[in-house]
Amino acid sequence: MGIVSPGFRGRRREGVVLPPGQYLTKDFPVLSVGPTPRVATETWEFTVTTENGTVHEWSWPEFRALPSETPTVDLHCVTKWSKLGTNWRGVSLDTLLADVDTAADYVVAHSYDGYTTNLPLADLLDGRAWIAYEFDGDRLAAEHGGPARLLVPHLYLWKSAKWVHNLELTLTDEPGFWEAGGYHNYGDPWREQRYQGD
């Protein structure tokens, strides 16, 4: 018999439902693999590289000229904290990938500090992911991934790569930093996919 009974949706805390094993926080904890990179918007660039090597790129002014959205989303960290109703501004991946011709099914997100994480391309589309540059109405602080980070709120937060600068579209699934170290390949908080085998 499994640990989680069929139909279990999470636990109720303070009138809200959280994914299994999570607790509610009002803080925004800062967790990083290494030192916080300081990336100036004058040198920042964002690229999408297709499986055949075609590169689509945006400078900071070009990126900021794109249509933006203001999603309000819940965040769930693999370390078991959840922060609800967070407010962001960013550019939808639907916008950034609209003119990208690809047969890829997967993505490896690359950050300025060398961090990587892998995701199915489908999880970045249909209004489910953004490159975010504001949090709570202010410029995104460096410790939270500023000037811009990937935001994929339906997965554990390690999939929302801070300081993102490139999305590499791939035909095969290639594990990123934490995935190669034993974290779950997908990371669905509602299924408690923290580690391989979960």
Q: Is 33 contained in some domain?
A: no
Q: Is 32 contained in some domain?
A: no
Q: Classify residue 155 as left (phi > 0), alpha (psi -120 to 50) or beta.
A: beta
Q: Is 149 contained in some domain?
A: yes
pTM, two decimals, is 0.90
Query: What digits encode the pLDDT tens for the residues 173-195?
Result: 999 999 999 999 999 999 999 99
Q: Is 154 contained in some domain?
A: yes
Asked whether the beta carbons of 91 and 63 are under 8 A apart, the reply is yes
What total of structural domains would you count in the chain?
1
Q: Is 5 contained in some domain?
A: no
Mean pLDDT computed over 65-76: 98
Q: What is the model's pLDDT at position 13?
A: 47
Asked whether the beta carbons of 106 and 172 are under 8 A apart, the reply is yes
| Domain CATH number, residue 70 | 3.90.420.10
d(CA 87, CA 131): 13
Q: Is 196 contained in some domain?
A: no
Q: Is 53 contained in some domain?
A: yes
d(CA 91, CA 6): 37
